[in-house]
Amino acid sequence: EVQLVESGGGMVQAGGSLRLSCAASGFTVEHYAIGWFRQAPGKEREGVSCIIISDGSTFYRDSVKGRFTISSDNSKNTVYLQMNSLKPEDTAVYYCAADVNPMHYEGSYYCSITKSYNYWGQGTQVTVSS
């Protein structure tokens, strides 16, 4: 069974950095995506970034491009979200999720932060103060 466990959340001042980790286990497919999502109080959940584990291809929402970096350490079965230049509007509960059937075309795989994901972690709180 797929399990996802997030860690690394906390409180930081605007302009600071945090690194979130998602420890993933239990996969039986070679090609899958890990995505980071967030949900702020009173707002809908939104996708932040994703990565295809088998080839490292990534995607970011516009508001985090240049500030956030997603990466994976396959030897540790862990996906990271490095968040720099944090803003108060980044405050949210952050979740990692797994998509075991990512989009593919002519042998290449693509992750998406708008499609449904199959498995979810429990979330970690990120609070950015002004």
DSSP string, the chain: --EEEEE--EEEETT--EEEEEEEE----S--EEEEEEE-TTS--EEEEEEETTT--EEE-GGGTTTEEEEEETTTTEEEEEE-S--GGG-EEEEEEEESS-EEETTEEE--SSS--SEE---EEEEEE-
| pLDDT value of residue 126 | 98
Cα gap 127→40, rounded to integer Å? 10
| pLDDT value of residue 40 | 97
| pLDDT value of residue 58 | 97
| pLDDT value of residue 31 | 92
Task: Kindly list the averaged pLDDT for each block of 10 residues, start to end, along the chain of length 130.
Answer: 96 98 93 97 97 95 98 95 98 98 92 95 97
Cα gap 3→22, rounded to integer Å? 10
| pLDDT value of residue 117 | 97
Q: Phi and psi at residue 119, in whole multiples of 5°?
A: -130, 145
| pLDDT value of residue 94 | 98
